[in-house]
Amino acid sequence: MAAARMERTVVDLASPDGEVAFRANGQVVLFDGYLKVYDQGRDDRQDGEDEDGGRLPQVMQGEAVDKGAVTPDQHFTQAPPRYTEATLVKRMEELGIGRPSTYASVLTTIVDREYVRKDKNRLFPEDKGRLVTAFLSNFFHRYVEYDFTADLEAELDDVSAGDRDYKDVLTRFWRDFSAAVAETADLRIGEVLTKIDDFLSPHLYPLREDGLDPRQCQVCGTGRLHLKTSRSGGAFIGCGNYPECRYTRPISGGEEGNVDGKVLGEDAAGNPISLRSGRFGPYVQRGEATSDQPKPDRASLPKGWAPDTLTLDRALELLSLPRQVGTHPDDGQPVEAAIGRFGPFIKHGATYANLTDVEEVFTIGMNRAVEVLAQKRSRGPRGGHAAAPLALLGPHPDGGEIQVMPGKYGPYVKWEKVNATLPKDIAPEALTLEEALVLIAEKAGKGGKAKKAPARKTATKKAPAKTGAKTTPKAAPAKRVAAKKTATAA
């Protein structure tokens, strides 16, 4: 496809008396070319920006123009737009990072490891990505520089072309890298946190509207905020006056930290319902911690719930969990719906079944709950489909169905928790109820280990016989040797 041709142009517009003059800088399109199909710069365009920004119409010197409209606009300097996958690959090409065969895997890795998130086709850094970047930039600075990656890519190209020995490349890399790892391994966790805290301070502690120190604790007013680690391995911002002050918030808590302690309203008993920020994210709380109740009712906000749009009714729904759906029609036991560590679920006795949507926790009825629980049980305890029985022999005298099931080591008879292996000389379809009852009784009476004991005793009895058999041949050669000696003497 033909290339587009543009002409950089500066147009001066002046009033007839020359008192007022304006200048416009832009480009005049002489030939559209591929721009008729695709505008390469549209990925870098800000939301709401005019697609024809910077384009000027074709005008001639001295040509009179008509005034259409006067629009006074004030413009501010804006940050560069976030990378898209296309613009990030283009930037990597400019820096010499990666190769066409590795671009896709790089983009997939940073998204799968939650270093970045995709929103409207743009890539936004996550807290995990910022922490990893801060650690590598402080302790492995040489290996995250653009020129190091580009130079290493060039050396690998030389190895591929046969112009360089790969052992030399690996030896030189490993010598320096292992030394950097050994040096970092001796650091204490406090030293690492301090460096990362200072490196990320503009992001962790944004300027406050009241002009106060952004590191000042908003609860006690005297402590300073620091980056800390939790027992589960995560990181959060906490007050330095711990345990006197227990204020915490997530790393990206510039906005969420402002909602800490926000009162949404009161429940029927008059207890205040507040929205708070903790180390694991925002949550709602009923009342305040007291000596009689040191841990008031709390509930974390599910993923996807925005703290700034949370209402009192939704907070009360969270605090009311687990929700009683009703009683199961088969046994009368209660069925509950709740939100757990791994997401929404329903519970019936010892059976837990996951729900696909958080909203179902508050809306699911008994018919739907019974269906979901039945699907869970049909898949078996490990999530796979339960094996179909080979034969149904009938009820056991003590209750319960007797079945012939397929097994990994052959068919077996199953009744309640008793599993009896089917003898090899009996086909599953030929087994009768009476024979199955005998097998179940033997299995239940003797247990799984009782059958193995006779085998061990039999093996022990056979051992002396084998020993004796081996001793007899040894004695025969001895006699033959003696006979030879006698003949020699004669």
Residue 150 pLDDT > 90: no
Average pLDDT value for residue range 114-139 = 89
Residue 297 pLDDT > 50: yes
Residue 46 pLDDT > 70: no
pLDDT tens, 186-207?
A: 888 888 899 998 998 888 888 8
- The band of 107, judged by pLDDT with boundaries at 50, 70 and 90, is very high
Which tops the pLDDT comparison, 365 or 19? 365
Place of tokens 């009192």: 312
Q: What is the rounded distance in angstroms from the CA atom of residue 234 to the CA atom of residue 8?
A: 53
What are the residue ranges spanned by the domains of the chain? 1-64+77-81, 323-378, 391-452
By percentage, how much of the chain surpasses pLDDT 90?
Answer: 19
| DSSP character at residue 44 | G
What is the SS3 assignment for 198?
helix
Which tops the pLDDT comparison, 490 or 434? 434
Q: What are phi and psi of 469, to 5 degrees?
A: -65, -35
pLDDT at residue 407, as a whole number: 82
Residue 243 pLDDT > 90: no
DSSP-H helix ranges across 310-396: 312-319, 360-363, 366-378
- The band of 486, judged by pLDDT with boundaries at 50, 70 and 90, is very low
Which tops the pLDDT comparison, 249 or 384? 249
- The band of 387, judged by pLDDT with boundaries at 50, 70 and 90, is low
CB-neighbour burial class of residue 317 (10 A; exposed 0-12, middle 13-18, buried 19+): middle
Residue 485 pLDDT > 60: no
pLDDT at residue 253, as a whole number: 57
pLDDT at residue 257, as a whole number: 44
Query: Does the N-terminal peptide bond of residue 322 adopt cis geometry, omega within 30 degrees of 0?
Result: yes
Which tops the pLDDT comparison, 402 or 23? 402
Q: What is the rounded distance in angstroms from the CA atom of residue 451 to the CA atom of residue 462?
A: 18
- Of 159-168, 193-202, 246-255, the range with the lowest mean pLDDT is 246-255
Average pLDDT value for residue range 86-115 = 90
Check if the beta carbon of residue 235 is closer than 8 Å to that of residue 251. Answer: yes
Q: What angle do CA 274, 364, 282 make, to 5 degrees?
A: 25
What is the SS3 assignment for 67?
coil
Closest CA to 96 of 145, 151, 143, 144: 151
Note if the pTM is more than 0.85: no
Closest CA to 308 of 267, 254, 248: 254
pLDDT tens, 437-459?
A: 999 998 887 654 434 434 444 44
Q: For residue 266, what are its two tokens?
A: 């009161």
What is the SS3 assignment for 250?
coil
- Please enumerate in sequence order all residues whose Cβ is within 8 A of that of 97, keeping only pairs 6 or more positions apart, or say none: 146, 149, 150, 153
Q: For residue 256, what are its two tokens?
A: 């969420």
Write the single-letter amino acid at 211.
G
By percentage, how much of the chain surpasses pLDDT 70?
Answer: 83
Mean pLDDT (the chain) is 80
Closest CA to 35 of 2, 63, 67, 68: 2
Closest CA to 432 of 392, 387, 389: 392
pLDDT at residue 232, as a whole number: 62
pLDDT at residue 45, as a whole number: 54
Place of tokens 């001295």: 62
Question: Rounded to whole angstroms, what are the CA distances from 130 to 127, 237, 445, 480?
Answer: 5, 14, 63, 88
Which tops the pLDDT comparison, 465 or 234? 234
Q: What is the rounded distance in angstroms from the CA atom of residue 442 to the CA atom of residue 431?
A: 16
Place of tokens 């799984």: 448
- The band of 39, judged by pLDDT with boundaries at 50, 70 and 90, is low
Closest CA to 189 of 144, 229, 248, 143: 229
pLDDT at residue 344, as a whole number: 92
pLDDT at residue 380, as a whole number: 61
pLDDT tens, 312-326?
A: 999 999 999 999 999
Residue 331 pLDDT > 50: yes
pLDDT at residue 255, as a whole number: 42
Residue 490 pLDDT > 90: no
CA 367: distance to chain centroid?
32
Residue 335 pLDDT > 90: yes
- Please enumerate in sequence order all residues whose Cβ is within 8 A of that of 219, keeping only pairs 6 or more positions apart, or say none: 239, 245, 247
- Please enumerate in sequence order all residues whose Cβ is within 8 A of that of 350, keeping only pairs 6 or more positions apart, or say none: none
What is the SS3 assignment for 444?
helix
Look at strands 343-348 and 281-286 and give their pairing. Answer: unpaired
Q: For residue 260, what are its two tokens?
A: 């800490």
